Homo-oligomer: A and B are copies of this chain.
Amino acid sequence: MKLASLKQGRDGRLVVVSRDLTRQADAAAVAPTLIAALDNWAAAEPRLQEIADSLEAGRIAHTPFDPKKCASPLPRSFGWADGSAYVNHVALVRKSRGAEVPPTFWTDPLMYRGASDEFIGPCDPIKAADTAWGIDLEAEVAVVVTDVPMGATPAQTGSAIKLFMILNDISLRNLIPAELAKGFGFLQSKGQTAFSPVAVTPDELGSAFDGKKVHLPLLSAINGKPFGRPNAGVDMTFDFPTLIAHAVKTRPLKGGCIIGSGTVSNRDADGGPGKPVPDGGLGYSCIAEIRTVETILHGAPKTPFLNFGDRVRVEMNDAQGRSIFGAIDHEVVKA
């Protein structure tokens, strides 16, 4: 099934959305909000599924679904930890700063805690005060979990994955080097994250989800031009069960927490840097990567970071070309 949160209060109003993303049915009889449903998912899930089945069969009252009226499926969350599972992305972005990738980065996941007190909706503006911050997209895949005990292993954590979303983890690229140099991780150098219009249960991904990774291209576009289409199932050094296990090594993880994949990034078949989509390549999920490749090839970056008025779109289609999550589609505006 597919779930969305219409904008209302701090936690939204939960609706069940049809598979084709055209219709929605009220879910208030089960739970007023997605966060409330996740607090008791074992009870809520079958009842939400009943609504989803009735909606597909046309047996229930429904209204048109409009992503512009959506908050993120979880408009806020008690936990948002983002991995950096595509080490190719890390290697490229570090190269752009002249920083090395330690060998342990291929065996020990990188993960940071992001702000989760307010996510922006999939069509909400990306607000920034200054383009000198180096505003960048980061297109990613994320999972929402139920309770995971401290010390759970990757073999044990996979069953906690209940929902998938895609996201744009806005990064303020020019603030990152100085902030990371302080040693405490990202704080000012990440903007407000936007998730897809709907969150979907694993069955909606069919065989594209093998229990560990999502084997589909993640499509991003800037100002209507295709920018990236790397496959989220390729070059993911740390799969979702491994990322969750990393998060619970020294503490539990509670229901409703979100774990992200980090920026999706594929190497080329030859193991070298990617090529832009217009040149037949898979492209990128963030501008920092293409700037690094440009610097390697031409001595300097050519693609600018985002400016006010620029639009970013992130989407994932199934094998038949149908949008799974709806599109994140939003504009950078001056705060």
Q: State the A residues within 8 Å of B (CB).
A: 9-10, 39, 76-79, 81, 84, 102, 104-105, 108, 110-118, 127-129, 133, 150-151, 172, 175, 180-192, 246-247, 249-257, 335
Given contacts A129-B150, A192-B252, 11 further A-B contacts (CB under 8 A): A10-B39, A76-B254, A78-B117, A78-B118, A112-B187, A117-B254, A180-B183, A188-B249, A188-B250, A190-B250, A192-B251
Contact A251–B150 (Cβ < 8 Å): no
Contact B250–A117 (Cβ < 8 Å): no
Q: Give the distance in Å from the alpha carbon of A257 to the alpha carbon of B246 in the complex.
A: 25
28 contacts between A and B (CB under 8 A): A78-B78, A78-B118, A81-B187, A102-B181, A105-B182, A111-B184, A111-B187, A112-B185, A112-B187, A117-B253, A117-B254, A117-B256, A118-B251, A118-B254, A127-B150, A128-B250, A129-B150, A180-B183, A180-B184, A183-B183, A183-B185, A184-B186, A187-B246, A187-B247, A188-B246, A188-B250, A191-B250, A192-B251
Which of A108, A113, A190 has most B Cβ within 10 Å?
A113
A40 vs chain B, min Cβ distance (A): 9
For the complex of A and B, 8 pairs with smallest distance between CB atoms: A185-B185, A79-B117, A117-B254, A78-B117, A113-B113, A112-B184, A188-B249, A184-B185
Instruction: Decide: A185 near B78, CB < 8 A? Known: A129-B150, A335-B150.
Output: no
